């Protein structure tokens, strides 16, 4: 069979961006066909874009077409200039807070833990450079923005919610690495809960997903964090946990992505109450 052209996803584009440290990122964008909503498109910013942007784009493309099409949503994948799904070294820098070797478990892979601790700089990059670049070309609803991350990206998603809750309204943390730095994310959660006021005019929603076949500490950690966040009735914070039977750390991505998209679309639908627990 002779190759005629490379496969592409209609409506998807990509470009390279550089942060202030000179690191290169591949920014992938999928935009629905047709006229934008009056208030702009809802948008999902997706970490590990090299691995999951295509899944998001094709899922949204299918759901946004046909007689039963659903509300159009833009997806923005934030990835790296690589040809494989994950950049391990870069993920440890971008998705974590600083941690010393004594604050981390023994690594299962050969060699020392990679350089880490750039979460705040990465959050700055998203807010100050990526978002404005997207909004220059696509009308975005500023009140319907989501952040999706998995594993270390799940830790980063939680960190973004707990330390800068104004950047997004919906947070999807898959298999979050709550173990990072002696479970420091629980401290950030406590600080967030102490400072979060119900008079804040904007709702925040968090969806945590984990597979039943992941390491037991991952499942326990996700459950413990969900329990902490739900220990009090907080009118402006809704938290949901899903454990997917039979799924492992990687296979859980597909059902979690599908449900996260549905929940994000329905989060502001007054007719849908199943999300709020």
Task: Give the residue numbers annotated as catalytic, written as ranges.
Answer: 151, 213, 249
d(C-alpha 85, C-alpha 79), whole Å: 9
d(C-alpha 227, C-alpha 250), whole Å: 24
Q: Among residues 37, 252, 255, which one has the least CA distance to residue 143?
A: 37
| CA 222 centroid distance within chain | 15
CA dihedral 213, 218, 219, 225 (to 10 degrees): -160
Q: Return all residues near 66 (Cβ < 8 A) that are at least 6 apart.
A: none
Q: Which two tokens stand for residue 177?
A: 């690495």
Q: Which residue has the tokens 């892979």?
A: 109
d(C-alpha 255, C-alpha 209), whole Å: 9
d(C-alpha 60, C-alpha 103), whole Å: 40
d(C-alpha 57, C-alpha 76), whole Å: 9
Rg of the chain over all Cα atoms, to the nearest angstrom: 18
d(C-alpha 233, C-alpha 93), whole Å: 35
**CB–CB of 74/12 below 8 Å?**
no
Would you tell me how many other CB atoms lie within 10 Å of the CB of residue 134? 18
């Amino acid at each position: 069979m002779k190759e005629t052209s490379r496969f592409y996803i209609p409506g998807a584009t990509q470009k390279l961006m550089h942060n202030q440290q000179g690191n290169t990122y591949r920014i992938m964008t999928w935009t629905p066909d047709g006229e934008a909503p009056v208030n702009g498109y809802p948008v999902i910013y997706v970490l590990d874009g090299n691995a999951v942007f295509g899944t998001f784009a094709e899922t949204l493309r299918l759901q946004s077409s046909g007689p039963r099409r659903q509300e159009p949503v833009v997806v923005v994948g934030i990835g790296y200039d690589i040809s494989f799904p994950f950049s391990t070294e870069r993920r440890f820098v971008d998705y974590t807070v600083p941690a010393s070797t004594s604050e981390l478990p023994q690594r299962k892979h050969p060699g020392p833990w990679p350089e880490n601790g750039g979460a705040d700089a990465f959050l700055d990059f998203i807010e100050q450079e990526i978002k404005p670049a997207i909004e220059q070309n696509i009308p975005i609803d500023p009140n319907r923005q989501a952040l999706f991350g998995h594993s270390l990206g799940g830790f980063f998603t939680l960190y973004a919610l707990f330390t800068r809750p104004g950047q997004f309204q919906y947070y999807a943390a898959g298999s979050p690495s709550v173990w990072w730095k002696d479970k420091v994310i629980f401290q950030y959660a406590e600080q967030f809960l102490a400072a979060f006021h119900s008079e804040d005019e904007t709702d925040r929603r968090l969806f945590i997903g984990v597979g039943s076949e992941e390491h037991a500490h991952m499942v326990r950690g996700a459950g413990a964090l969900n329990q902490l966040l739900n220990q009090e009735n907080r009118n402006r914070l809704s938290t949901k946990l899903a454990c997917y039977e039979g799924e492992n750390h990687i296979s859980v991505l597909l059902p979690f992505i599908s449900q996260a998209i549905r929940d994000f679309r329905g989060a502001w639908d007054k007719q849908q109450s199943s999300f709020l627990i």
